[in-house]
Amino acid sequence: MKPPSEIPHADSRQRLLDAATDVFMEEGYHASVDRIAAKAGVAKQTLYNHFPSKDVLFGEVARRCTASILVPLDGDVSDVRESLLRFGALFRVKLLGDEGLAAFRALIAEVGRFPALARAFYDNGPAQTARRLAEFLERAMQKGAVRRDDPMFAAQMLLGMLGGVERTGRLCGQPGLAAEAEAQRLAHIVDCFLLAFAPERIDR
């Protein structure tokens, strides 16, 4: 009945977490515990051996997702445009990709039930990303590659431009962009940002 090639007595906890991630992302918190156990190929009791309650399981899943959304940003200020393009590409994948959207939807819907979770998600995800980007931009400002302004403000503007309206659309079920349109748009956005934050001209 079980897939035969499956290692018997494999780490149920891990399988449960994986299954729960899938199911919660797909159906939100209201996914049933039975379905999660079934998807993990595990008895319901086993689930309750590992996690005291559905809420705790949901929390674990949320923590895992939160940990996975951070976007790396190399500190290299020598070519700001290039660095921002690399960063932006990854950021947009996290932000506008199906998994990211599903996770966000699932979490957002339960802000009332799990306010602490939502706060943690925001602090360790978007807010953390904004802080890192702000640091990067501050260095770029010090180097004169970017006009001086509040670095956090600048970071928020870039993040808004990168995500903004498209995110709303995707959350409402609109389809995403094709690969080449995506690259074009990313470049367009970054250039637009760099224009807004171009260093003041000395007026030759």
Interacting residues with DNA (CB under 7 A): 1-2, 8-9, 12-13, 30-34, 41-46, 48-50, 53-55
In the bound state with a copy of itself, the residue whose beta carbon lies nearer, of 71 and 159, is 159
Rounded distance between C-alpha atoms, residue 27 and residue 86, angstroms: 32
In the bound state with DNA, the residue whose beta carbon lies nearer, of 21 and 83, is 21
**Residues of this chain, 156-195, that bind a copy of itself according to CB under 8 A:** 156-157, 159-166, 168-169, 171-174, 188-189, 192-193, 195
Amino acid making up residue 48: Y
Angle between helices 151-171 and 80-96 (to 10 degrees): 40
Task: Give whole-number Cα distances, 180 to 22, 168, 184, 188, in Å.
Answer: 29, 21, 6, 12
Which of DNA, a copy of itself, none sits in contact with 72, Cβ below 5 to 8 A by type?
none
Backbone angles phi, psi at 30, to 5 degrees: -80, 5
Question: Is the Cβ–Cβ distance between 161 and 192 less than 8 Å?
Answer: yes
Which of DNA, a copy of itself, none sits in contact with 55, Cβ below 5 to 8 A by type?
DNA
Instruction: State the residue for tokens 């995403």.
Output: 176
Which of DNA, a copy of itself, none sits in contact with 112, Cβ below 5 to 8 A by type?
a copy of itself
Rounded distance between C-alpha atoms, residue 158 and residue 52, angstroms: 42
In the bound state with a copy of itself, the residue whose beta carbon lies nearer, of 9 and 204, is 204
The number of residues making up the chain comes to 204
Contacts with a copy of itself, residue ranges (CB under 8 A): 26-28, 30, 105, 107-109, 111-112, 115, 118-119, 121-122, 126-127, 130, 149, 153, 156-157, 159-166, 168-169, 171-174, 188-189, 192-193, 195-197, 201, 203-204
